[in-house]
């Protein structure tokens, strides 16, 4: 007795249903009958062939895709009894003209005159796509003197971090007015010196590379012309604006804005946080005049847990866990820059 098989995939990456239909009764010769496999939307452009093997009958067939009806076709006949059907999917995944195995699955079917069905799950053997690449991040580029004299070396320093903790390499370059670039002492060091050969402007840039990913950042310097040879005294001055904490915003762990304290005599400097005894908060200290050279800190008067600051634009962010007992905590935010200091204390009451 023989049976013809018909397969169809039910959903993406292949839940396959096989219908078993009796071909004839008795012990006569096996007569092949059409077998077809339809592939779910999206797979027909990836899978080139489906191979179907039956064991212990030792019968195999290679099904090929017909774009006219969106199905894989072939013929197969089986004797009566238990058979293990194994389906494998093949595709040219890298475009080299050689088919690679991309999926497989098997199931046991009992071939009987009355017919029946079996479900084959052809499972993707390729796994998930590879992870994305992670580029390093240059966190700061500093120059010791943004307005050096001709021939005066200045120190340029880059700070960078790699999310995966890999080795970072550095490459410095200069984009200058004609004749200004005097070269770097070591263009591959994180910190090196550069010298201006003539008066003019330059952008000194550094590229940080880890694996095959890079980040770049630059700083501008202006090389000054020589002072005049007369006894006149040239006086230059730079106005440095004050850096101060302008307001503080308290967020819950769910990033809901609980309260905001402005630097204004009419603002209430006390923030009441009912239902958050011992809770975790995110504190944002917004500052005016913050620069890469500024330092923003926070101190807690009542033993709460403060996480270090993360600076983003004109703001510094702190994690804070309130004490386990109801206490009015004074959290003081301070900013320091160029010898200037400012503080904004706020009262936080979590109960």
Residues 277, 180 share a domain: no
Are the beta carbons of 126 and 13 closer than 8 angstroms? no
Q: Identify the pLDDT of residue 341.
A: 87
Q: Identify the pLDDT of residue 36.
A: 45
Q: Identify the pLDDT of residue 194.
A: 97
Structural domain range at position 152: 137-223
Give the Cα separation of 257 and 336 in Å (integer).
27
pTM over 0.95: no
Name the residue among 222, 223, 201, 216 with its Cα closest to residue 158: 216
Asked, for residue 297, whether it belongs to a domain, the answer is yes
Mean pLDDT over each residue of the chain, to the nearest integer: 80
Which tens digit of pLDDT belongs to each residue from 166-182? 999 999 999 999 999 99
Residues 7, 85 share a domain: yes
Residues 118, 14 share a domain: yes
Count Cα atoms within 13 angstroms, Cβ side, for 13.
Answer: 9
Give the Cα separation of 19 and 320 in Å (integer).
63
CATH for 171: 2.60.40.10
Does pLDDT of 283 surpass 90?
Answer: no
Compute the average pLDDT of residues 306-315: 78
Does pLDDT of 289 surpass 70?
Answer: no
For the chain, percent of residues with pLDDT exceeding 70: 81
How would DSSP label each residue in 256-275? -EEEEEESSTTS--EEEETT
Does pLDDT of 70 surpass 80?
Answer: no
Contacts with 93 (C-beta within 8 Å, 6 or more apart), sequence order: 100, 102, 126
Give the Cα separation of 201 and 178 in Å (integer).
9
Q: Identify the pLDDT of residue 197.
A: 95
pLDDT confidence band for 279 (50 / 70 / 90)? confident
Domain boundary, last residue among 74, 103, 124: 124
Q: Which helix (H) or strand (E) holds 49?
A: strand 49-55
Asked, for residue 228, whether it belongs to a domain, the answer is no
The tokens for 25 are 């009764």
Contacts with 9 (C-beta within 8 Å, 6 or more apart), sequence order: 15, 16, 17, 37, 38, 39, 40, 43, 122
Residues 267, 187 share a domain: no
Asked, for residue 129, whether it belongs to a domain, the answer is no
Q: Identify the pLDDT of residue 32.
A: 45
Residue with tokens 């021939």: 151
Residue with tokens 């917004």: 286
Which tens digit of pLDDT belongs to each residue from 246-255? 888 888 866 6
Q: Structural domain tally of the chain?
A: 3
The tokens for 57 are 């009958």
- Give CB contacts under 8 A, 24+ apart, made by 97-100: 99/48, 99/49
């Amino acid at each position: 007795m023989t049976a013809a098989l018909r397969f169809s995939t039910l959903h993406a990456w292949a839940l396959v249903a096989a219908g078993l239909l009796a071909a004839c009764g008795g012990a006569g010769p096996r007569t092949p009958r059409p077998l077809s496999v339809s592939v779910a939307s999206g797979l027909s452009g990836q899978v080139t062939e489906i191979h179907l093997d039956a064991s212990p009958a030792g019968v195999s067939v290679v099904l090929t895709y017909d774009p006219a009806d969106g199905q894989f076709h072939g013929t197969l006949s089986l004797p009566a009894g238990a058979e293990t059907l194994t389906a494998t999917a093949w595709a040219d995944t890298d475009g080299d003209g050689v088919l690679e195995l991309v999926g497989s699955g098997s199931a046991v079917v009992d071939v009987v005159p009355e017919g029946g069905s079996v479900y084959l799950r052809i499972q993707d053997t390729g796994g998930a796509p590879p992870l994305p690449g992670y580029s390093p991040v240059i966190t700061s580029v500093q120059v010791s003197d943004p307005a050096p004299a001709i021939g005066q070396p200045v120190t340029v320093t880059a700070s960078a971090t790699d999310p995966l903790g890999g080795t970072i390499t550095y490459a410095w370059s200069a984009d200058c007015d004609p004749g200004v670039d005097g070269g770097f002492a070591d263009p591959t060091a994180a910190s090196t010196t550069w010298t201006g050969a003539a008066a003019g402007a330059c952008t000194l840039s550094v590229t940080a590379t880890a694996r095959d990913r890079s980040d770049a950042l630059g700083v501008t310097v202006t090389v000054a012309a020589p002072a005049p040879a007369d006894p006149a005294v040239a006086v230059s001055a730079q106005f440095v604006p004050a850096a101060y904490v302008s307001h503080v915003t308290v967020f819950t762990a769910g990033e809901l804005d609980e309260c905001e304290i402005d630097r204004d005599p009419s603002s209430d400097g006390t923030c009441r946080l009912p239902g958050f005894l011992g809770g975790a908060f995110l504190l944002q200290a917004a500052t005016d005049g913050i620069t890469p050279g500024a330092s923003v800190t926070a101190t807690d008067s009542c033993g709460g847990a403060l996480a270090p600051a993360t600076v983003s634009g004109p703001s510094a962010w702190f994690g804070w866990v309130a004490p386990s007992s109801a206490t009015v905590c004074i959290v003081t935010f301070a900013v320091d820059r160029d010898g200037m200091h400012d503080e904004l204390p706020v009262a936080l009451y979590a109960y």
